[in-house]
Structures are given as C-alpha cells and as structure tokens.
C-alpha cells in the first residue's frame, strides 16, 4: 500500500531486456539521488542489463548529464544518455540539413546545432524553423523575431524540443518550461506547433535503444510523468513504470483509460527489482 495514496501499487516480477529511465523526478531530485536508485542501477548493471537515461531538459548536453550522474555516484558513459538536444539536432540534420533555424533556447542546444553545421539566423526573412525550447533568457525581442518569421513573412514553422509545462524542483517548486514558450508564440501568431521532438515523441525511445540488440516490447520505460514518459511508452507499445516520486500522482494515473495507464505503479524506483531479489539481498526500505 502506498502511504501517499492509500491505494495498491504494482511491481514487476521479472527483469527486462533494457531499462530506459527518465532522470528528473525518477533518478534524482535536484542534487540528490532518490531512495534506492543507486542499488537498483548497480543491480541491473551487475546483471549486464542495458541502462539508458532520457531527459526532456534541453538546458544540459549529454556530457553534463554524464558529469551529474557520475557525481551522484552513478558512473555513466555518454552513449547511455539521450536528450532533446541530441534528438532535435539529429532530426534536423537528417531531415532538413539545409534549413535555417532560430532557436529560442539555451547554450547547449545552440552549440549542438552549430557544431552539426545547421545554420542559425535572427533574420526573420530567412528562417525556416523557429525552435521553441526551455529558455531562461526568453525576452520580447526573441518573441518578435519568432512572430515576424512565422506571421509576417509566413515562412517559418514552429517546432519544439519538449512539451513540459514546468521543470520540477525540490520542495515542490518548479520553473516554467518549454510549453510556456510554445504558448506565447502560438498566441501571437495564431499558428500551432507542428512538431515536438522530445517525449512523448517515440523518436526519443528509438534514440535511447539505438544499437542495443533488444526487443522493444520487452524493454521498460520508467518515468514520473504521465503525459511524457508514460505516453511515449504507450505510443511505442513498451512496458512502462511510474514511480510516485515526481510529477504525476496515483490518482491521475488510475483516472486515465486503461490503455494509457502505466503498466506498473511504484512507490519508489527500486521496486523495479523483483521481490525475490530484495529477499536474497536482504533489502528493505531503510537500508538503501
């Protein structure tokens, strides 16, 4: 029973071929690992089960996530990280390599686009794509460029890195995320964002398991947000698990149609490890 909801939870009884984890609210919150995460990841790695980390946060590049996870006690290779910086850059490079873009974004995405040879411009008359992203330097000037490129010149299309309304912080606080930027541009241009490349777009899961010899139907996506992490798993037919340590709640999950609900609801992430292993290892909720 969950102390948070008073409702029964559900836990896996077997291991999967690969585990794909959201990070914020699932692996850590702020600068602290969540309970049981370290022993869970170590158990999976000891069994040579692939572990991948996924994030919709475009304010960090993969190397920054490697540094953060390593600092938190989870040494990680850069190949184990996929986020919207990588996915957006790869999508543009593969599908629109000659496009001129205007990223309303922070330095990691701007740098990634530049290094990939994608041309960036602030001239509304030549912009093909306005990229909305999590941008803590958003200002009226940026909105005006987007407005002119989309509404006045009727040239640019609006795309985005992620649909998140806010980024969660410890203590229940948060920071406005990409959805706020999208909404501002849509409101003044009377157009709609044509593509969101991050979760729940299945492309993120494709990137996460690329190069692994695994069956997607026997992998598991683990994340704390119904609208992104779990919906992405639903769209790809992948098993999913939602720890109640982040954004979405048990009540929100069970209120959805059965087909949109997580396969498993966990009070903590290390419940992904079957109970038989807990018993063998002598684990309990106090010795994580």
Write out pLDDT tens, residues 73-93.
Answer: 999 999 999 999 999 999 999
The pTM of the whole model exceeds 0.75: yes
**CB–CB of 128/100 below 8 Å?**
yes
pLDDT band at residue 273 under the 50/70/90 scheme: very high
**CB–CB of 221/241 below 8 Å?**
yes
Q: What is the DSSP-derived secondary structure letter of residue 34?
A: P
The helix (H) or strand (E) run that includes residue 185 is helix 178-189
Q: How far apart are CA 130 and CA 286, in angstroms?
A: 49
Q: How far apart are CA 147 and CA 144, in angstroms?
A: 5
Integer CA distances (angstroms), 114 to 60, 108, 110, in order: 15, 10, 6
Counting other chains too, the contacts that 4-7 makes at CB distance below 8 Å and 24 or more residues apart are: 4/244, 4/249, 4/250, 4/267, 5/244, 5/249, 5/250, 5/251, 7/250, 7/251, 7/254
Token code pair at residue 115: 């290094």
Tell me, what's the pLDDT at 171?
77
Tell me, what's the pLDDT at 12?
96
User: Domain coordinates of the chain in residue numbers?
Assistant: 18-56+199-281, 85-196
CATH number of the domain at 85-196, out of 3.40.50.1000, 3.40.50.720, 3.40.50.300, 3.40.630.30? 3.40.50.1000
DSSP per position, 99-123: -EEEEES-HHHHHHHHHTT-EE---
Question: pLDDT (tens digit, 9 = 90+) per residue, 132-156?
Answer: 999 999 999 999 999 999 999 999 9
Mean of pLDDT values over 99-103: 98
The helix (H) or strand (E) run that includes residue 265 is strand 264-266
The top-level CATH class assigned to 18-56+199-281 is: alpha beta
């Amino acid at each position: 029973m969950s102390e948070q909801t008073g409702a029964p939870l559900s836990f896996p009884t077997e291991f999967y071929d690969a585990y794909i984890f959201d990070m914020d609210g699932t692996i850590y919150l702020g600068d602290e690992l969540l309970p049981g995460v370290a022993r869970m990841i170590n158990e999976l790695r000891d069994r040579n089960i692939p572990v991948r980390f996924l994030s919709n946060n475009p304010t960090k590049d993969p190397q920054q996530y490697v540094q953060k996870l390593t600092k938190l006690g989870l040494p990680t290779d850069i190949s184990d990280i996929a986020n919207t910086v990588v996915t957006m850059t790869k999508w543009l490079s593969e599908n629109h390599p000659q496009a001129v873009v205007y990223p309303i974004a922070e330095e990691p995405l701007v740098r990634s686009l530049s290094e990939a040879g994608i041309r960036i411009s602030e001239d509304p008359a030549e912009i093909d794509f306005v990229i909305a992203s999590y941008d803590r330097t958003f200002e009226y000037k940026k909105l005006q460029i987007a407005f002119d490129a989309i509404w006045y010149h009727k040239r640019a299309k609006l795309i985005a890195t992620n649909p998140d309304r806010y980024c969660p912080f410890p203590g229940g606080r948060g920071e406005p995320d990409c959805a706020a930027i999208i909404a501002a541009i849509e409101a003044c241009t009377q157009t709609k964002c044509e593509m969101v490349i991050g979760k729940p777009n299945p492309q993120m899961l494709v990137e996460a398991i690329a190069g692994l010899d695994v069956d997607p139907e026997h992998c598991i996506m683990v994340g704390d947000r119904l609208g992104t992490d779990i919906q992405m798993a639903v769209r790809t037919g992948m098993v999913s698990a939602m720890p109640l340590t982040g954004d979405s709640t048990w009540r929100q999950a069970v209120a959805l149609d059965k087909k949109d609900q997580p396969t498993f609801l966990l009070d903590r992430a290390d419940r992904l490890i079957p109970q038989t292993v807990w018993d063998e290892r002598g684990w309990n909720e106090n010795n994580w």
